[in-house]
Structure 1
Amino acid sequence: MNAHRTPWWHAAIALVLGLIAGAGLAVLGESTGLTLIGTPWFVAAVLAVIGVVALVLALNVHKYATTDPKKRPKTFVNPSVAFKALVLCKSMILAGAALAGWYGGQIIPTLAHIEGSFYEHAVLECAVTAAVCLADMVIGFVGEWLCQLPPDEGAEHPKMQEQQRQGGLAGAAAKTAR
């Protein structure tokens, strides 16, 4: 299976769409009198924990992929876990961007009412959660990079060609010595 890296502009589109949706929700809340802005602190904590777990999984996959096959333990990383770590990192890119836009979008129309204690608290909650979501997006990009495999050392790899050349010279020297 060949997984491709997530382009940066996918995250940018998700961020802009989340920004529009979050701002729309805040404006709708102001016009109807129904306040839907803000987020519990629990959300920021859970998103931070998910980011740390994804980073640890990606680091384990990277350590496994870059360790010499002769020295690597057999039960170090299960291929299923490595695939799930990659998928988690890919999803964190898009979800982190969209949620950062969502919570950041709620801040923009609410800044006009920041003098009220409710709005002040809601803006603080949204700002912290948006920052955690942006960190998760960055962790997703880094984790996706960490989960990539090193290049295959096939016959066309420079390292293998050098070994063949040295093996050919050693073989020719052995024939002339006889």
Structure 2
Amino acid sequence: MKAKRTPWWQYAIALAIGLLAGTGLAVYGESSGLSLIGTPWLVAGLLALLGVAVLVLSLQVHQYANTDPKKRPHSFVNPTVAVYTLVLAKALGLAGAALTGWYVGQILMSLSHMEAAYYHDAIVQCAIAAVVSLADMIIGIIGEWLCQLPPSEGAEHPKMKQKAKRRGVVPAANATSTTQTNMTGRDE
């Protein structure tokens, strides 16, 4: 599977959509008299826990991918967990961007009413949730980077050439022998 990094413009679009949606919600709430702005403290706490979980998983995948296969500790990281962690990091980054815009949009529309206790509390709640969402976006971007595989060492890599020389294997391009060897190792 070949996964590509999430381009920067997707984060910008998610942020803009979240900003428009949050602003629209605040405007609708103000015009209809419904109290739709703000967020429970539980949401910010859960978002923070989710960000920490993704960061821990991403660090484990990074450590596993960059450790010599002979020296790898026995862990739960396998290709399936690594892919799930990558997908989770991508989703956290985009959701963090959208939620940051959502909460900032609510803040912007509520600033003019900040003297009222309800709006003041909603602004504080949204500000904390926006900071946590921004941190989640950053953790998602970093987690996606941590889940990258190291560059492969192909046949032309200097390390691979040194290993071949130590084993006494001559690369096909440098072979000057006129006799051909079959799969059993006997000359024909």
TM-score, normalised via structure 1 length: 0.89
What is the distance in 1 between the residues matched to 2:28 and 2:144? 37
Q: Is the 8 A contact 1:15 1:99 kept in 2?
A: yes
Question: Residue 154 of structure 1 contacts residue 160 of structure 1 at CA under 8 Å; is this kept in 2?
Answer: yes
Give the residue type in structure 2 aligned to 1:49: L
Partner Cα distance (1:106, 1:158) in 2: 56
Q: 2:47 aligned with 1:47, yes or no?
A: yes
* Gap runs ≥5 in structure 1: 171-178
Q: Which letter does structure 2 place at the counterpart of 1:26?
A: A
Say whether residues 1:94 and 2:88 are aligned partners: no
Shift in Å, 1:76: 4.4
* C-alpha distance 109-42 of structure 1, shift in aligned 2 (>3 A): same
The aligned counterpart of 1:22 is: 22
Question: What is the alpha-carbon distance in structure 2 between the residues aligned to residue 125 and residue 162 of structure 1?
Answer: 59
In structure 1, what is the equivalent of residue 117 of structure 2? 117
Q: TM-score, normalised by structure 2?
A: 0.85
1:139 maps to which residue? 139
- Counterparts of 2:150 and 2:112, CA distance in 1: 51
Tell me how far apart the structure 2 counterparts of residues 167 and 86 of structure 1 sit (CA, whole Å).
37
> Any idea what the Cα deviations from partners look like across 1:96-129, whole Å, max 9, x if unmatched?
0001100110011100000000000000000000
Which string of whole-angstrom CA distances, capped at 9 and with x for unpartnered residues, describes residues 21-49 of structure 1? Answer: 10011011111111200000000000000
Alignment of 1:65-80 (within 5 A): 65-80=65-80
Percent identity, please: 63
**C-alpha RMSD over aligned residues:** 1.8
Aligned length: 170
When structure 1 is superposed on structure 2, of 148-157 and 100-109 the one drifting more is 148-157
Greater fraction of residues in helix: 1
Letter aligned with residue 140 of structure 1: G
Structure 1 distance, partners of 2:75, 2:140, is: 25
Aligned-partner Cα distance in 1 for 2:114–2:144: 38
